[in-house]
Amino acid sequence: MELLRKVEYIYIVLSLFFGLILIFFTPPFQSADEPAHFAKACSFAQGHFLSKKLNGIAGDFLPESLVDFQSKFDNLFFNTSERTSFSVIKDSQKIKLNEDKKVFLNQKYHAMYSPVAYVPQGGGVWLFKFFTDSVYWLMIGGKLFSLVFYILLGYYSIKSIPIAKWVCALILLMPMSLSLGASVSADGVLIAVSILFFSKILQYALSEDELCLKQLILFSVLSISLALIKQSVLFSLFVLFIPKSKFGNRVIFKLIAILLPAFLVSFIWSKFSYTLFVPMNNSNPEIQAQFIFAHPFVYLMTLAKTLKAYFLPLIYSSIGILGWLDVFMFPFMYWLYIFVLGLNLFCVSESRKNFIQVSLFQKMLLFFVVCLNFFVICTIIYVSWAVPYLISPFEGLQGRYFIPLILPFLTFIFLLYKRNFVKINDSIISTINIICLILAYVNIVFGLYIRYYATF
């Protein structure tokens, strides 16, 4: 019974249960950008770690049966009037992987992602090829491996983090987060790695021990991974939150040993992957970047207008708008989830400490790195999606891009709270959290049913 009270074990049970529901109840390709992500996972399974460029299109030569499989569900993309059925999904399982007949598949901007972002999914597809040639079950294999990877890293994140364990668990269990972790998307891998990275930072920053060699190597490996997964190298700057006293001697050398390899790897991969970049929506990154440097205040105003215009959609899509951003929960559920996050942020059990020694510099650094990462993500979307010289609100921002920043931001809020915490019994707050999660996933399952299966 004591084990069941631990947040990390509750997380394993809930993430596995809800994750399996999402895998088998969500029709194939009905997660954001899943067709391109599945193509990349299949490329990885074939040992094709780098995409190619053919006639101005970035992609790879893959079995034509992947196209046949996807065509079973093409009618659902951005078309809320279309439905599928379990019989259609069952019938799609008959499509076999024929590696003798290949076509060039467009992997869009996902061609720029490094193979590191597809290790779990690609590994699952590769292993399932020994047991089945059904394209459907190969996709399921990729999703199952991705889910296991997500759950394992989530478990160690919650186990490691010294404060706000339920906050960490609730972020990992948000329908948007878990749906990505239970898909073949690279976003799920990024969320899992980034949350583990930040949890380890808090663990070592708030402990009394100096960092050992093994811990320094772990930070270096995670930093390099972040640099290669969707170019998230700036997230590694959170390592500066750890007090210099925890590094012992040669602080600068150790920080360089953690950060420099990540930035070098990011630079090298960026130079290579840019050769695969295919402009979308008539964008021109060079022109947009020049415009930002020439008119920084105009761009800041444009960004402010964009965030104002899309504030609620960003909040909602961070917590959970599934499918191709067309499967919603009831509006009250989003605010209930935010309320429960706040409850866990400001109401702690009596078993936790009422104070945490963190300097003002650490708090300000935490806030600055959150803002820096947020700004860079928005700017990357602007230069790669918007038309040149656009000064009106631009599209492309989605809440899932900012999920890795939620835990650092809420930690900053937690550390600002100087008053005595409101103390609540462990079992009470755990019960509230579990009820909230059950309600959220009942909402999600209902939304998926109405969107994809209901015929009334």
Q: What is the pLDDT of residues 124-181, one digit of tens each?
A: 999 999 999 999 999 999 999 999 999 999 999 999 999 889 999 999 999 999 999 9
Distance of CA 269 to the CA centre of its chain: 20
Residue whose token pair is 């510099």? 361
How buried is 43 (Cβ within 10 angstroms: 0-12 exposed, 13-18 middle, 19+ buried)? buried
Cβ within 8 Å of residue 417, ≥6 positions away: 345, 346
Tell me whether strands 52-54 and 57-63 are parallel, antiparallel or unpaired: antiparallel
Does pLDDT of 14 surpass 80?
A: yes
Structure tokens at 219: 């930070």
Does pLDDT of 418 surpass 80?
A: no
Average per-residue pLDDT in the chain?
90
How buried is 88 (Cβ within 10 angstroms: 0-12 exposed, 13-18 middle, 19+ buried)? middle
Cβ within 8 Å of residue 68, ≥6 positions away: 95, 135
Could you give phi then psi for residue 87, rounded to 5 degrees? Answer: -70, -35
Does pLDDT of 1 surpass 50?
A: no
Per residue in 26-76, pLDDT tens? 999 998 889 889 999 999 999 988 888 887 788 889 999 999 999 999 999
Kindly give the residue spans of alpha helices, DSSP state H, lying in 295-416. Answer: 296-309, 311-320, 331-346, 360-385, 403-416
Q: Which of 262, 184, 171 is nearest to 216 (CA)?
A: 262
Residues 363 and 83: their CA atoms lie apart, in Å, by: 49
Residues 404 and 406: their CA atoms lie apart, in Å, by: 6
Residues 230 and 210: their CA atoms lie apart, in Å, by: 31
Per residue in 363-410, pLDDT tens? 999 999 999 999 999 999 998 888 888 888 888 899 999 999 999 999
Distance in Å from the first CA to the final CA of the chain = 45
The rounded percent of the chain whose pLDDT value lies above 70 is 95
How buried is 441 (Cβ within 10 angstroms: 0-12 exposed, 13-18 middle, 19+ buried)? buried
Residues 454 and 106: their CA atoms lie apart, in Å, by: 32
Per residue in 126-135, pLDDT tens? 999 999 999 9
* The pLDDT of residue 24: 96
Q: Is residue 444 classed as helix, strand or coil in its secondary structure? A: helix
Reported confidence tier of residue 351, pLDDT bands at 50, 70, 90: very low
- The ranges assigned to domains in the chain are 2-452
* The pLDDT of residue 348: 65
Q: At what angle do helices 165-172 and 186-205 cross, to 10 degrees?
A: 170
Could you give phi then psi for residue 7, rounded to 5 degrees? Answer: -60, -40
Top-confidence residue, 411 or 276: 411
Tell me how crowded residue 277 is: count the other CB atoms within 10 A of its CB. Answer: 16
Structure tokens at 330: 């009831």
**184 in Cβ contact with 142 (< 8 Å):** yes
Q: Is residue 200 classed as helix, strand or coil in its secondary structure? A: helix
